[in-house]
C-alpha cells in the first residue's frame, strides 16, 4: 500500500483520525520507564487518509536515526504535547530499519517493521506489571502473510486508534457577550405660549403755555394825542395753545429664535453576570503522568 506524508496527502486534513490536532514535534516517550525517545517528525497516511505511522526522530536514544512507530502503538496526550510509545524498548528501536524516504517503503519494509513490534509486545506483557495487549488476541485469526491479501485491519493492535489511547477532553467555559439595543427612555416636548405683561414707555411731549409779562415802557408818562389814545370797550386778544399727547401703538417684532436638535453622548455602562467554566480534574497514582499547558 502506498504511504504519504500528511502534508503531501492533502492541504486540509481536518477530517482525519486526529480530529485536526497536529502532533508533529510532539515529544515521544516510552511508557515503560518514561524515557524520552525523541520527537515526531512526520505522520504517514495511506491512500484512504488513515493514519498508519509516526516517523520518530530518535535523537535521544540513537542520534540521527528515524524509525516508524505504528499508530496503534501510541498514546497521545495533547495536554502536555507528548506521544507515549506503548511497550517500546531500545532493543526494538535498534532493530527497526531506518526511515530515509517514502520510496523505500514497500510490503517487505513494513513487514520488517511489523516483525520488530510483534514478538517484543508479548515479552513486555510478561516483564512488566502493567498489562499490555498482545498483537494477536486469544482466538484471533492468524495474520495473513500474503502480500496480496494483507490489510492494516488484520493487526488492529498496530494500526487502530482506540478511544482509550487517543481521546480528547474538551473543556468549555461561559463568557459574557455584550450587545446594545436602542430603547426609548423619554420624550422632550418644546412649544410656546403667550404671556401678558404691562409695558411702560417714556415719550417726550411738548405743551404750550401763556406767559403774560407786564412792563413799563421807557416813554411812560408821555402825553399822547386823542387820536392815539383809542379807548375800546371789550377789546380781547386770543392766542391758541397746543400740546403733544402720546399716541401708543403696538407692533410685533422678532425677539428670539430657538433651535432644537439632538446630540449623542458616549458613556460606558458596566454589567456583570455569573459565568461557568469547566476545569480539568486529574485523579491518578501514576507518577508518569505529566501535564503541560500549550
DSSP conformation class of 49: S
Distance CA 34, CA 214 (A): 147
- pTM, two decimals, is 0.50
**d(Cα 137, Cα 272) in Å, to the nearest integer?**
58
- Print pLDDT tens along the chain (294 aa): 789 888 887 655 544 444 445 788 899 999 888 889 899 999 998 888 888 999 999 987 888 889 999 999 999 888 888 999 999 998 999 999 999 888 888 999 999 999 999 865 444 443 443 444 433 443 444 565 678 888 988 898 898 876 555 545 455 677 888 888 888 888 888 888 998 988 888 889 899 888 988 888 888 888 888 777 777 777 788 888 899 888 888 888 888 888 888 888 888 888 888 888 877 776 666 565 555 565
The residue with cell 518514561 is: 34
Closest CA to 17 of 51, 54, 55, 53: 51
Contact 124, 133 (CB under 8 A): no
Q: How far is CA 25 from the centre of its chain?
A: 29
In the chain, what is the straight-line distance between the N-terminal and C-terminal CA atoms, in Å?
A: 35
Q: Residue 262 in contact with residue 5, Cβ under 8 Å?
A: no
SS3 content of the chain, % helix, strand, coil (to 5): 15, 15, 70
Instruction: Give the number of residues written for the chain.
Output: 294
Q: CA 254 to CA 257: how far, in whole Å?
A: 8
Specify the 3-state DSSP secondary structure of 141. coil
**pLDDT tens-digit series, residues 105-164:** 899 999 999 999 986 544 444 344 344 443 344 344 456 567 888 898 889 889 887 655
Residue listed under C-alpha cell 516483525: 115
Amino acid at each position: 500500500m502506498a504511504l504519504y506524508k500528511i502534508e503531501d496527502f492533502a492541504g486540509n486534513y481536518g477530517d482525519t483520525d486526529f480530529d485536526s490536532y497536529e502532533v508533529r514535534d510532539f515529544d515521544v516517550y516510552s511508557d515503560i520507564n518514561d524515557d524520552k525517545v525523541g520527537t515526531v517528525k512526520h505522520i504517514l497516511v495511506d491512500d484512504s487518509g488513515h493514519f498508519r505511522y509516526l516517523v520518530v526522530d530518535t535523537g535521544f536514544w540513537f542520534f540521527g536515526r528515524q524509525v516508524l512507530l505504528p499508530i496503534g502503538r501510541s498514546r497521545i496526550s495533547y495536554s502536555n504535547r507528548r506521544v507515549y510509545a506503548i511497550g517500546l524498548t531500545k532493543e526494538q528501536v535498534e532493530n527497526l530499519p531506518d526511515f530515509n524516504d517514502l520510496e523505500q517503503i514497500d510490503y517487505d519494509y513494513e513487514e520488517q517493521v511489523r516483525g520488530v513490534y510483534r514478538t517484543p509486545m508479548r515479552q513486555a506483557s510478561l516483564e512488566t506489571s502493567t498489562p499490555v495487549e498482545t498483537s494477536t488476541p486469544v482466538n484471533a485469526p492468524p495474520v495473513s502473510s500474503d502480500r496480496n491479501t494483507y490489510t492494516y485491519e488484520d493487526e488492529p493492535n498496530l494500526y487502530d486508534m482506540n478511544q482509550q489511547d487517543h481521546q480528547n477532553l474538551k473543556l468549555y467555559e461561559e463568557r459574557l457577550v455584550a450587545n446594545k439595543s436602542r430603547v426609548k427612555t423619554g420624550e422632550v416636548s418644546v412649544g410656546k405660549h403667550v404671556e401678558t405683561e404691562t409695558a411702560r414707555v417714556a415719550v417726550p411731549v411738548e405743551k404750550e403755555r401763556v406767559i403774560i409779562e407786564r412792563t413799563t415802557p421807557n416813554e411812560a408818562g408821555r402825553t399822547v394825542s386823542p387820536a392815539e389814545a383809542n379807548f375800546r370797550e371789550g377789546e380781547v386778544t386770543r392766542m391758541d395753545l397746543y400740546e403733544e399727547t402720546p399716541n401708543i401703538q403696538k407692533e410685533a417684532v422678532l425677539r428670539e429664535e430657538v433651535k432644537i436638535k439632538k446630540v449623542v453622548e458616549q458613556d460606558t455602562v458596566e454589567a456583570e453576570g455569573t459565568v461557568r467554566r469547566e476545569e480539568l480534574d486529574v485523579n491518578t497514582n501514576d507518577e508518569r503522568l505529566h501535564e503541560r499547558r500549550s
